[in-house]
Amino acid sequence: MTGSRPLRAGLRALRPEAFGADPSGERMERIRRSPHFADGVFQNPVGTRERPSGSALEFAKIYFRKEERVRRTPSAPIPVHPTTLADIARPPATGLRLTWMGHSSVLAEIDGHRVLFDPVWGDRCSPFPFAGPKRLHAVPVPLAALGPVDVVVISHDHYDHLDLPTIKALAATDTVFAVPLGVGAHLERWGVPADRLRELDWHESTKVGGLTLTATPARHFCGRGLRNTQHTLWASWVVAGDEHRIYHSGDTGYFPGFAEIGAAHGPFDATMIQIGAYSEFWPDIHMTPEEGMRAHLDLQGGRPHGVLLPIHWGTFNLAPHAWSEPGEWTAEEGEGAGQPVASPRPGEPFEPAGTLPVDPWWRPIAHPWRRPKVVDVAPSEPQVGDLDLAGER
């Protein structure tokens, strides 16, 4: 068996750079010591079907039906805010400003610090530049023009949240990276020095300047390569400054832990909640807008408070629903709950304590949408395999 070691090393050398790296050494030992790691993999906080359920044939019928494909594409270019850089050149009057850059990427300016969540500036969320889900709109500002960032926060290692070209560009700056346990292996392979990594398990915190960043539980999964080892953690994040506190959900299904996070760390001036890429084929790992609103209220102690910024929609097609449906449905949920919901165009800064952007900008370019009937699909065979190159379902 002595010849197998050089063979494995050779196969690792052939691994595409975008696949990242598997944890090893002391990092892997720390993973094994995690209370959230059991039976050789990271565990979700509640029972979770991480693989799509139902028939692959049935999913294909829905996904490739002509009328469904039309609904997933805007009828005209998505409007991008034209003056982002000029707007964020001035400090926020209230001490807290959020700028949704599209999908789950948000620049948060909080108490004199700048936090960049899940930055994806690449044209596709894919390991390959020629295939995979492509942007529906341009990035609002060039990454190089964004200016200094104090900390980059990553929720998990799927391609639509951890983007190789974006990370390599940020690695050339002096920013700190706060990531879930195990994800640091990818970043180190891509040129981020170990001393600029803050790699956290759930419920662990780190200080960056005047901010406290805490990794909190989420209900999802991980993986970038052809073989998913479940050795990198997924997380939501709490960021607290001297005066303000915010929450970013990353990707997650609904679970009772939101109330526990809110009790420990809330209430929040703003939450950034995943409300897109849902489907009855994977009900446990992404939230519908209705579930996203419930999560926000749980985080706020069971009552309307602060501002909800919907994320994880409008930038990449990752599910069968209409591209604009999450925005429309979340606005409707906010009205019903009496909860303020921000609806900015990509790149449109706003201050949660100020005037909120609420114009339904998607309606003039949206095809008819409908609220789907969410059905709890029982697992059956055959199961849907990997449906796209984004590492998402």
Per-residue model confidence as pLDDT tens digits over 228-287: 677 999 999 999 999 999 999 999 999 999 999 999 999 999 999 999 999 999 999 999
Assigned token pair, 371: 């609220």
pLDDT confidence band for 9 (50 / 70 / 90): very low
* Average pLDDT for 48-77: 75
DSSP per-residue letters across 176-226: EEEEETTTHHHHHHTT--GGGEEEE-TT-EEEETTEEEEEE--S-----SS
Query: Cβ atoms within 10 A of the Cβ of 10, count?
Result: 9
Position 381 scores a pLDDT of 38
110-119, 138-147, 365-374: range with lowest mean pLDDT? 365-374
| Cβ atoms of 283 and 247 closer than 8 Å | no
Tokens 């799927």 belong to which residue? 158
Among residues 120, 121, 174, which one has the least CA distance to residue 147?
174
Assigned token pair, 17: 């750079």
pLDDT of 387 over the 70 cut: no
pLDDT of 352 over the 80 cut: yes
pLDDT in tens, 120-174: 999 999 998 888 899 999 999 999 999 999 999 999 999 999 999 999 999 999 9
What is the biggest distance separating any 2 CA atoms in the chain, rounded to whole angstroms? 67
The pTM of this model reads 0.90
| Cβ atoms of 265 and 216 closer than 8 Å | yes
63-67, 136-140, 345-349: range with lowest mean pLDDT? 63-67
pLDDT confidence band for 49 (50 / 70 / 90): confident
* Average pLDDT for 383-388: 34
pLDDT in tens, 280-331: 999 999 999 999 999 999 999 999 999 999 999 999 999 989 999 999 999 9
Position 13 scores a pLDDT of 52
Position 389 scores a pLDDT of 33
pLDDT in tens, 173-217: 999 999 999 999 999 999 999 999 999 999 999 999 999 999 999
**Per-position b or e across 372-382, b if 16+ CB within 10 A of its CB:** beeeebeeeee
Position 230 scores a pLDDT of 74
